[in-house]
C-alpha cells in the first residue's frame, strides 16, 4: 500500500497516514482529532511496510481499512536526576 504522511502543525510529534492521493480534508476520513485541523505534508508516496520506525504496521493497515486514516506519534522523554553530594 502506498500512503501519504502529514504532520500536525499543532503537535509536531503527531502524524497521520492516508492512502496516497487522498484529500486529507475529505469529510469521509472522519478525522476528529483536533490536532489535525492544520497539517503540513511530511512525505508522499511512501510504501507502507513492516519496519518503518514509529509505525505499528498491522494497526496502520487495520486503521486504513476501517477508518481510511491512521494516526501515530513520536515523542522523546528526557529524565534528569540530580544526586545530592
pLDDT (tens digit per residue) in 36-59: 889 999 999 999 999 887 889 999
Please state the pTM of the whole predicted model: 0.80
Phi, psi of 82 (to 5 degrees): -110, 125
Asked if the structure places residue 80 within a domain, the reply is no
What's residue 52's pLDDT?
A: 82
- Is the four-CA dihedral 61, 65, 66, 69 of positive or negative sign? positive
What's the chain's length in residues? 85
Task: Provide the number of structural domains found in the chain.
Answer: 1
Mean pLDDT calculated for residue range 75-81: 77
Residue 9 has which C-alpha cell?
A: 502543525
What CATH number did the domain enclosing 10 receive? Answer: 3.10.510
Is 81 a residue whose pLDDT tops 80? yes
pLDDT at 76: 65
* Within-domain flag for 82: no
Q: Report the pLDDT value the prediction gives residue 30, as an integer from 0 to 100.
A: 78
- Dump pLDDT digits (tens) for 19-38: 999 888 777 677 888 888 89
Amino acid at each position: 500500500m502506498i500512503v501519504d504522511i502529514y504532520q500536525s502543525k499543532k503537535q509536531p510529534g503527531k502524524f497521520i497516514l492516508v492512502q496516497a492521493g487522498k484529500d486529507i480534508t475529505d469529510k469521509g476520513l472522519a478525522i476528529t482529532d483536533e490536532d489535525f485541523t492544520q497539517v503540513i505534508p511530511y512525505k508522499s508516496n511512501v510504501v507502507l511496510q513492516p519496519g518503518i520506525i514509529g509505525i505499528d504496521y498491522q494497526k496502520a493497515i487495520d486503521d486504513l481499512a476501517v477508518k481510511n486514516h491512521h494516526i501515530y506519534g513520536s515523542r522523546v522523554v528526557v529524565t534528569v536526576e540530580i544526586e545530592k553530594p
